[in-house]
Amino acid sequence: MYRYAAARPNHIFATAHLEGNTFTLPEVRSLLENEIPPGHREEEIQQIIDLDDASTRLIDRVSTGTFRLDLEESNAYNLLLSQHVVIVPGVPRYLSKVNQDGRGAVVTLGNGDHYIGYTKDEMRQAIEWMLPRITSIDDPVERAINYAAFMSYAQVYMDGNKRTARYMMDGVLMSHGYDCVLIRASDKDAYNEALRGMFRSGNLACYADFLYAVCDRAYRKNSDNGEDLDARN
């Protein structure tokens, strides 16, 4: 936990970078110190603030032992991460009045390919069947990564699915004394390819294996201060 708190700007920068946010790490640090860097759209500024709010909640929940791997906890993070993007944040698609037609999410994969997510009924069934099985996995690393992969694939929310799933994953990891997963700026291509592989094939291992590799790198590094210089690039 202390390494995450010390490297908080790095994690916020890295997460924002994966979303296409143009903030640099020094600019993220400035914004977190209430100095707004010039030249950025309001949407980018708000995204950094929302990520910081989610990080505040994560630190509080883990440090007080109140973090839980359940849908209520996930909804709270999604609310923070997508409240300035969608009409009804923090509500699963299968419970949302906005998604009246019941259709699944459409994820653009490139080269004209798209992934069509679960319908309302399919998602409800998948959540009810998968989550109890995932949360019953004994090993916390396996539990966290399988959760992140499934929730990203299921596209449970109207926006912010991957970010929400990773915050939940990090909550599980840090609650059990592990470092959280820092997907560096230089990992972006591999990250996107892992996601495309998962969405195209329906095989969660495509993304889960990538997350395992990032976890393994962090544990082998075992940095004293959590600072990942590659995140600056």
C-alpha 65/C-alpha 87 separation (Å) is: 31
C-alpha 155/C-alpha 51 separation (Å) is: 19
Q: Give the DSSP H or E segment for 125.
A: helix 120-135
Q: What is the CA radius of gyration of the chain?
A: 17
Annotated binding-site residues read: 159-166
Tokens 């799933």 belong to residue? 165
Annotated binding-site residues for ATP read: 159-166
C-alpha 122/C-alpha 134 separation (Å) is: 18
C-alpha 151/C-alpha 154 separation (Å) is: 5
Burial (CB < 10 A; 0-12, 13-18, 19+), residue 51, is: buried
C-alpha 196/C-alpha 210 separation (Å) is: 12
Neighbour tally for 218: CB within 10 Å: 19
